[in-house]
Structures are given as C-alpha cells and as structure tokens.
C-alpha cells in the first residue's frame, strides 16, 4: 500500500510491559498490532505520549520500532514518536525510525525549554533536512509547555517535510483555522476531538480510545470525515462516548491498560511515576466495556 497520503483513524499505541515492569513485552506488542489491523485501524503510532515514550530506554525504543514495523508488514502506515528535548536526539531517533522502515515520524516540540517560533522552525527544519519521510508535528500544549497556534503552524508548514499536524487542544475551531492558513501544505489529524474535528476539515484522528476500540473509532471517524453521514457518525459517537473519560485526562495510560487487562489482552501496568488504575474504578470501567460489547468481542477474536 502507498505510504502516503496518511488518512483516517490511527492508534497511538500503548507500550506493553512485562508484569514486573522491567521489560517491554514484545510478544504482547505483536498481538496488539495484529488486533489493531484486524479490526480495521488505518495507521499505527508507537512511542507517543500513550506509549510512555519518556519511560523507555534507547534499546527498548529500537526494539519497539522494529517490532511494530515488522508486525504491520506494510499493511498500514507506521509513524514513530520521536520527540525529545534535544534536537540532535530527535534527528537520531528519526533517522533510526526511517532506517527501520517507518513511514513517518510524529514529533512533539521540546517540552522544557519553551522554544520560540524561530527555535521551533529551526528544530523542525533541522529534523526535516535529516530524513526523507514525512513529519507529523504534534501540538499538545497541555504536556509540551508550548502552544503552536494556527499562525505558528502556518510558518512551520513551509518546511517541505512537515506535512501533517496532530492538533490536541480542546479548541476545535483550530482545525478550521489551520486548514485556512496552511492550505495543502499541512493536513490536520485530530488529537482529541476526533468526531468534532472531522466536520471542520481534519483528515485523520490520532486516537487513544482506538487502542481498545479500533473498529468503532475507525467507523466513527470515517462516517464523519469521508462519508459525511451525520446520523451515522452521531450514533457511533454516542456508542464510543462512555469510554472517552477512561482514556482521557490524567488516566489515559492507566485506563487504557486496565481496559486491556479486562479484555484479556494484558499490556502490563504503566511505569512509575504512573500507577495502575485504582482498584475502585475497575468495576465501572468493566461495565463500560461490557456495555460496548468489547469484552465479548475480544473473546470471540481469541477463539477464531
């Protein structure tokens, strides 16, 4: 399949760990990739925020990239999260991702130095000149400590290789403004508001919820973005909505991993300082998954 253009619902994957947390569970990662592709996801992004990229060693990072690319077997695009505070490290990991067969990279800006626009342009331009695969710029001011506004993204979009942005604020009108200011230089993936962003011009959704519900997430986004079927999209959104609080906010990693455990697909616990979902919350999450048919769905897939 062609590596570009990137379109549709992409899962920002959790990173499975062994039960004691000392190693990445590569077999579980292979199973996760297969689950995602079998259930219709359109792309995979390991080593993003949901993948606990700051808790991963360089050796583990390489193993994750190799495993996901190999398991995907070219069936869907694979973009690698390569954000770091040091531009040189982003160049290194982005080059590694390209050499290991990734189709693109997703790069959050440096998150401690609070770079200016000029520094952001220099950062992304330096990486872009070092690799031949496209860059998805990742705007998430809640975690990156810098907010790349539509006006700033318009400048960054002039870097030829910065062809996509993951827009992760809760201001859906930004999608409209990015589309207006960037034109065809940069296309928008929603980072949070997948349903809402589809109506304003987003061509993709980098979703956390699709870890647990890849088929429903994909069908929802495609109904809104490509089929333009409002009734269908709203019906699917209402099916998905009860899950969203469990995979958003401060518990997006712990909630997702707890969900996988309930579904019989253990991905281990988060690494500290993140802790597992509190035991008191697990029955409520189980009820949500049960109501969505996800518990029986995974049992069915395991039996096939």
Q: State the Cα–Cα distance between residues 194 and 198, nearest whole angstrom.
A: 6
| Mean predicted lDDT score pLDDT of the chain | 95
Q: Which residues of 167-187 are buried (b: 16+ CB within 10 A; e: fewer)?
A: bbbeebebbbbbbebbeeebb
Inform me whether the pLDDT recorded for 120 exceeds 80.
yes
Torsion of Cα atoms, 9 then 32 then 2 then 65, to 10°: 110
Q: What is the mean pLDDT of residues 152-162?
A: 97
* pLDDT tens readout for residues 183-240: 999 999 999 999 999 999 999 999 999 999 999 999 999 999 999 999 999 999 999 9
Inform me whether the pLDDT recorded for 302 exceeds 80.
no
Q: CA quadruple 120, 122, 124, 125: dihedral positive or negative?
A: positive
Per-residue pLDDT band at 296 (split at 50, 70, 90): confident
The structural domains of the chain, ordered by start, are 8-238 (3.20.20.70)
Tokens for 19? 């039960």
| pTM of structure | 0.95
According to the model, what pLDDT value does residue 99 have? 98
Q: What percent of the chain shows pLDDT beyond 70?
A: 96
CA distances from 132 to 22, 95, 104 (A): 34, 9, 9
According to the model, what pLDDT value does residue 104 have? 98
Q: State the Cα–Cα distance between residues 301 and 304, nearest whole angstrom.
A: 5
Q: What is the mean pLDDT of residues 59-68?
A: 98
Instruction: Kindly give, in sequence order, each residue whose CB lies less than 8 Å from that of residue 5, ignoring residues fewer than 6 positions away.
Output: 187, 203
Q: Which residues are the active-site residues?
A: 138, 166
Instruction: Kindly give, in sequence order, each residue whose CB lies less than 8 Å from that of residue 38, ignoring residues fewer than 6 positions away.
Output: 301
* pLDDT tens readout for residues 65-112: 999 999 999 999 999 999 999 999 999 999 999 999 999 999 999 999
């Amino acid at each position: 399949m062609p590596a570009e253009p990137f379109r549709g619902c992409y899962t920002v994957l959790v990173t499975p760990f062994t039960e004691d947390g000392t190693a990445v569970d590569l077999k579980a990662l292979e199973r996760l990739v297969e689950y995602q592709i079998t259930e219709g996801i359109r792309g995979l992004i390991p080593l993003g925020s949901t993948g606990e990229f700051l808790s991963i060693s360089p050796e583990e990072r390489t193993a994750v990239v190799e495993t996901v690319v190999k398991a995907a077997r070219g069936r869907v695009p694979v973009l690698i999260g390569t954000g770091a505070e040091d531009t040189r490290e982003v160049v290194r990991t982005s080059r590694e991702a390209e050499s290991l067969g990734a189709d693109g990279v997703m790069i959050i800006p440096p998150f401690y130095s609070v770079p200016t626009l000029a520094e952001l342009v220099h950062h992304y331009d330096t990486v872009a000149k070092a690799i031949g695969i496209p860059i998805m710029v990742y705007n998430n001011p809640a975690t990156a400590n810098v907010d790349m506004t539509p006006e700033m993204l318009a400048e960054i979009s002039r870097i030829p290789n910065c062809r996509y942005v993951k827009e992760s604020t809760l201001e859906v009108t930004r999608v409209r403004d990015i589309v207006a200011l960037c034109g065809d230089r940069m296309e928008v993936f929603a980072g949070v508001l997948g349903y809402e962003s589809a109506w304003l011009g987003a061509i993709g959704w980098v979703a956390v919820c699709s870890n647990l519900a890849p088929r429903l997430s994909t069908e929802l986004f495609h109904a809104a973005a490509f089929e333009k079927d409002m009734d269908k999209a709203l019906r699917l959104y209402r099916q998905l909505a009860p899950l969203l609080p469990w995979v958003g906010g401060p518990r997006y990693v712990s909630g997702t991993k707890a969900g996988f455990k309930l579904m019989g697909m253990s991905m281990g616990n988060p690494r500290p300082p993140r802790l597992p979902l509190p035991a008191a919350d697990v029955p409520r999450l189980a009820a949500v998954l049960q109501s969505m048919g996800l518990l029986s769905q995974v049992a069915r897939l395991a039996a096939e």
